[in-house]
Amino acid sequence: TSLVPGEQEATDAQTQYSLKRIQSNNFFSEQDFSTLVEDLTLLGRSIGLTAISPPWISMYTDGDMQNLHTDAPQGPVAFVLSLSREHDFQGGETILLKPNVMELWKGFDGSVGMETGSIMRYIPPAPLGRCIVFDPRVPHGVNRVKGTSGNGNDPRKARVVVHGWFNSPEVCWFGNWEESDVEQMNSMLDEALQPIVETLGSGEIGRVCGYLACRVDIDDDGDVIDVVGVCDTLQADWEDFRG
């Protein structure tokens, strides 16, 4: 579609990011920063991701926001940890484009109109300590913050978050396992998964893009008692869709 006169200039004039941020290790004490990283890394390990990017701490006061964007190169899963209190400001929600919009023409129903709630998710920035994770390939941003009466630019009343990305997927073992047992079980797991890897690489099925983590529960006798998907961002590659 051709651009209308002035469209590119209007696009270039849009605010992409308006906020204040600093690397978390330059803000927290060494001990607090170490605890923060340990806790976030433990959370990442619960979905098979063993490392985090250097976390940022960002502050949003009156008028600050993030326009829609994606962070696909940074890691398979993004996180946002709230350090905000309720009722200190308005707005500041994490906004995410809904999947039905990204696949708008798949099963399109022209008899139904859509408004904001059908197009975007608005995840509240509070309470303090809430941590959300999401697929950074999905267009996302931060709704404009409006300061409450009399404290619009007071940093003590701001939207404050720690954010970054989980990465480095590996097999993670939880429980009291001997190192030799872990090595043996990793070998067994690699052998069991090899047929799946070969099938995925053979071209027999359509390609998928994204990240999948499953938790396998094992009892004291070594028997598998449950398999649960704990993180799934897989999407069909439409250039190789088999229907």
Write the DSSP assignment of 1-40 as a string of letters: -PPPTTHHHHHHTS--EE-EEEEGGGTS-HHHHHHHHHHH
pLDDT at 228: 95
pLDDT at 178: 86
pLDDT at 223: 87
Alpha-carbon gap, residue 84 to 160, rounded angstroms? 5
Q: pLDDT 10s per residue in the chain (243 long)? A: 789 999 999 999 999 999 999 999 999 999 999 999 999 999 999 999 999 999 999 999 999 999 999 998 999 999 999 999 888 899 999 999 999 998 888 888 888 899 999 999 999 998 999 999 999 999 999 999 997 656 667 888 899 999 999 999 999 999 888 888 889 889 988 998 899 888 888 878 888 899 999 999 988 887 889 999 999 999 988 887 776
Q: Which 8-state DSSP code applies to residue 74?
A: G
Instruction: Report residue 44 CA to chain centroid gap.
Output: 11
Cβ neighbors of 160 (< 8 A, separation 6 or more) are: 57, 58, 59, 60, 82, 83, 84
Amino acid at 176: N
pLDDT at 218: 87
Which pTM was predicted?
0.89
What is the number of other CB atoms lying within 10 angstroms of the CB of residue 52? 20
What is the number of other CB atoms lying within 10 angstroms of the CB of residue 178? 8
Concatenating the DSSP letter of every residue in 130-197 gives -EEEE-TTS-EEEPPPEEPTT-TT-GGGSEEEEEEEEEEE-----SS--HHHHHHHHHHHHHHHHHHH
pLDDT at 90: 92
pLDDT at 151: 63
pLDDT at 150: 64
Asked if residues 164 and 132 have their Cβ atoms less than 8 Å apart, the reply is no
pLDDT at 219: 87
